Amino acid sequence: MTALTLSTAGAATLRADAIVVGVAKGARGPVVAPGAEAVDTAFDGKLAAVLETLGATGAEGEVTKLPSPSGIKAPVVLAVGLGTAPEQGGAFAAETLRRAAGTASRVLAGAKKAAFSLPIEASEDAEAIAEGALLGAYAFTAYQSGDRKDAKAPLAEVALLGAKPRDKAYKAAAERALAVTEELNRARDLINTPPNGLTPEIFANLAAAAGKEHGLKVQILDEKALVKGGFGGIAGVGQGSENPPRLVKLTYTHSKDAKTLALVGKGITYDSGGISLKPAGHNETMKCDMSGAAAVFAAVIAVARLGLAVNVTGWLALAENMPSGTAIRPGDVLRMYSGKTVEVLNTDAEGRLVLADALWKASEEKPDAIVDVATLTGAMVVALGNRTFGVMSNDEAFRTAIHETAEEVGEQSWPMPLPADLRKGMDSPTADIANMGERMGGGLVAGLFLQEFVGEGITWAHLDIAGPAFHESAPFGYTPKGGTGSSVRTLVRLAERIAAGDLG
């Protein structure tokens, strides 16, 4: 786990393996960003010129390594691009700093200590840099023997220069960055864990252990309790697997008078598609189909660590979707926990079935708001791409608030509608509703299905994170290849806003 320190040392005098500075795109070439003054002085004021000679432009994500000149104790200077320089009097955006720090952290894998001397004008900048550096220093190595020659340990320590260790705002920013990134990286670990290492039972036990460690109340319903309790969706999806389903409830209570936010996560620990089997090429990464539950789990723990003035419950709907002689079939009808019946037209539309039960159970407690998170539909990826999650809601103001919250923390999202005309496509001649509707607008159809299982009068939103939950291309910024922890930061910030009274 990467350590974080706030240092008052100067960039030239701190002992570290490397010092990270920023370079931006100016009108006439690269310009050195604030924070790099001491390093620039050591280069006789010619750092920008040296970088330009080496081909650096200051473009976002660009990295240039230089040997340090006399006068700097760190042997290496790493200049990371920040993109276009802000106008005079302006500042770099938090996400720009976050991504730059993440890029530098990734490049410095294998180093013991790096000093980050990027632009800091306020504690919010320090927090963004800390978050980026800590998230960029992530690696999943649990299943590697240690014999790989290309394997490098993550950067061991991040020293943040320009921050103020004795200032309350800066100390709080560092503590928040640590809590959020450590829990987000916990979610990444879960997402990256192979399905034989993370069954519903194992996931439930891990959640219970972490919950108890952080003072949460933990309740787990096993397969017998789910059947007895009438959870037809979760039990139905899980009945085809030798690894039975679970429903986990994590409760963080601040006070009776505080607002209550319920978070519901889809936790399909492996999704083969069931009898509606996925074709080759579409099931190799389906260990990530529990990313929603991982995000909810991580967010609730982070909220508890931060001691926020809001009550939060996290519901993890855990199951494995497998084909077998006991699996549900296309054409079967399930009676859900709400009492509604669902005709299963496609067993690969299983996420909405487990979420439906969890949503209704969460609704029984009458929370002020419910947010569900799921890798729910390929249609949402088609609509928004691999880096943006969709936001749907029965309350336009709440949908806007979540979209704005995501933007604030640097997560890409987009508000999506719930067109009433698409509901008719889920009419069933046999049951109350079918689990499939029109093919076009499939992501919206899934949202409309979930809305049927939200208690009356409860504000609800649905985050479809199918695109950004699992990154299969080359790493960028602080985003690694594999599980990303998408939506964790949005959920934590949403809880903070509710605690502060920003959302009514």
- For the annotated catalytic residues, the residue numbers are 278, 352
Q: Which two tokens stand for residue 236?
A: 């139905």
Sign of CA dihedral 370, 376, 379, 385: positive
Q: How far apart are the first and last CA of the chain?
A: 37
Among 74, 61, 69, 58, CA closest to 25: 58
| Radius of gyration, alpha carbons of the chain | 24
Q: In this structure, what are the phi and psi dihedrals at residue 121, rounded to the nearest 5 degrees? A: -110, -20
- Give the type of residue at 483: G
Query: b or e along 91-126 (b: 16 or more beta carbons within 10 Å of the residue's beta carbon)?
Result: bbebbbbbbbbbbbbbbbbebebbbbbbbbeebebb
Give Cα separations from 302 to 3, 211, 284, 367 (angstroms): 17, 11, 30, 19
Residue 52 DSSP class: H
Residue with tokens 């840099």: 129
The CA distance from 363 to 413, in Å, is 25
Cβ–Cβ under 8 Å, residues 138 and 182: no
Q: Which two tokens stand for residue 267?
A: 């936790």
Q: In this structure, what are the phi and psi dihedrals at residue 223, rounded to the nearest 5 degrees? A: -60, -35
Helix (H) / strand (E) element for 341: namely: strand 341-343
Task: With both helix axes pointing from N to C terminus, report the angle between 488-499 and 396-409 in degrees, rounded to the nearest 10.
Answer: 120
Q: Please provide the DSSP assignment of 68-111 as one string.
A: --TT-SSSEEEEEEEEEPPPTT----HHHHHHHHHHHHHHTTT-
Q: In this structure, what are the phi and psi dihedrals at residue 126, rounded to the nearest 5 degrees? A: -60, -40
**Continuous H helices in 138-222:** 168-192, 200-213
Cβ–Cβ under 8 Å, residues 410 and 386: no
Give Cα separations from 101 to 78, 245, 336, 474, 475 (angstroms): 11, 40, 47, 17, 13
Give Cα separations from 195 to 108, 186, 284, 287 (angstroms): 31, 16, 11, 6
Cβ–Cβ under 8 Å, residues 421 and 328: no
Of how many residues is the chain composed? 504
The CA distance from 438 to 444, in Å, is 10
